[in-house]
């Protein structure tokens, strides 16, 4: 399975300190076609971190409630833990996500 940038998936997240798991949404940031991928978690809880992106078209991405992408909480996740895909981000959400990712990770890449 190959995942695409901006694809919203439901992923089984294992609890670290207790038995069990919970299904949570995440947005694919990078898939290099191996067994895992990089994703940013999605939450319904607004935070004022400067690295949380309020989704404009959360319904179009398959989510049930207004949601926020937590760009500074990236994780490497196993594709085997993907419960199912929900849908892609719209351009109104993809463009600000790319801009925020670049603001975080593209510092000093202008040939310095």
**The CATH number of the domain where 101 resides is what?**
2.30.30.110
Q: Does the residue 58 lie in any domain?
A: yes
Q: Does the residue 64 lie in any domain?
A: yes
Q: Does the residue 110 lie in any domain?
A: no
Q: Does the residue 111 lie in any domain?
A: no
The domain in which residue 55 lies consists of: 7-105
Q: Domains in the chain: how many in total?
A: 1
**CB within 8 Å of 83: residues ≥ 6 apart:** 9, 10, 11, 12, 23
Instruction: Name the pTM for this structure.
Output: 0.88
Predicted pLDDT at 1: 86
CB 43 within 8 A of CB 68: yes
Q: What is the pLDDT along the chain (112 residues), one digit of tens a residue?
A: 899 999 999 999 877 777 888 899 999 999 999 999 999 999 999 988 889 999 999 999 999 999 999 999 999 999 999 999 999 999 999 999 999 999 888 876 554 4
């Amino acid at each position: 399975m190959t995942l695409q940038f901006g694809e919203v998936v439901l992923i089984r997240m294992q609890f670290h300190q207790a038995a069990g798991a919970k299904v949570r949404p995440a947005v694919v940031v990078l898939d290099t076609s191996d067994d895992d991928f990089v994703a940013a978690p999605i939450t319904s809880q607004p935070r004022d971190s400067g690295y949380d992106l309020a989704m404009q078209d959360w319904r179009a991405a398959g989510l049930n409630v207004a949601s926020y992408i937590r760009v500074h909480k990236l994780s490497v996740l196993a594709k085997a833990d993907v419960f199912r895909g929900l849908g892609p981000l719209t351009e109104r959400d993809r463009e600000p996500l790319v801009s925020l990712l670049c603001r975080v990770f593209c510092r000093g890449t202008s040939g310095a």
